[in-house]
């Protein structure tokens, strides 16, 4: 049962243009949504997050949009830079009786071409 889905395995964007990474979820109990960036053979690093009570959060070139009615969020990177090339994981945070949990999507490989 995939609660967090990233349907695009990869995305290729020209340097300077906008990158849009999408994520869908099924559980309406998630209270935070996060984006992590991962390079090969390294652990993920936190990028940006959004509370479920908000619809937008911006941090420099990165903006996350949340559409609760559609259970959809997206990460916008503008302008895209070659150094942004990495795997991006969408994650959702749930507070459960036995402990809090972070559920990850399958990831989207972003390639920014110079």
Partner 1 sequence: GAVVSQHPSWVICKSGTSVKIECRSLDFQATTMFWYRQFPKQSLMLMATSNEGSKATYEQGVEKDKFLINHASLTLSTLTVTSAHPEDSSFYICSARIQGRVDTGELFFGEGSRLTVL
Residues that bind partner 1 (CB under 8 A): 4, 9, 32-34, 36, 41-46, 49, 51, 89, 91-93, 95, 98-107
Give the residue with the Cβ less far from partner 1, 14 or 46.
46
Nearest-approach distance from CB 93 to partner 1, in angstroms = 3
Give the residue with the Cβ less far from partner 1, 78 or 94.
94
21: closest CA among 34, 30, 3? 34
Nearest-approach distance from CB 42 to partner 1, in angstroms = 6
Q: Are 112 and 28 in contact (CB under 8 A)?
A: no
Q: Is 11 helix (H, G, I), strand (E, B) or coil?
A: strand
Give the residue with the Cβ less far from partner 1, 56 or 95.
95
Nearest-approach distance from CB 94 to partner 1, in angstroms = 9
Nearest-approach distance from CB 46 to partner 1, in angstroms = 5
Per DSSP, the residues of 38-78 read E-TTS--EEEEEEETT-SEEEETTEEEEEETTTTEEEEEES
Residues forming beta bridges with residue 108, ordered by sequence position: 88
Alpha-carbon distance of 25 to 23, in angstroms, equals: 7
Give the residue with the Cβ less far from partner 1, 28 or 114.
28
């Amino acid at each position: 049962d995939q609660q967090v889905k990233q349907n695009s395995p990869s995305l290729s964007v020209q340097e300077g243009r906008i990158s849009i990474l999408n994520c869908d979820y099924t559980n309406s109990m998630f209270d935070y949504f996060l984006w992590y960036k991962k390079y090969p053979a390294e652990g993920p690093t936190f990028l940006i997050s959004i509370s479920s009570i908000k619809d937008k959060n911006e941090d420099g070139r990165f903006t996350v949009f949340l559409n609760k009615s559609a259970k959809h969020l997206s990460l916008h990177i503008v302008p895209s830079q070659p150094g942004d090339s990495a795997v991006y994981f969408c994650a959702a945070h749930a507070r459960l009786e036995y402990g809090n949990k972070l559920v990850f999507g399958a990831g989207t490989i972003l390639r920014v071409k110079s």
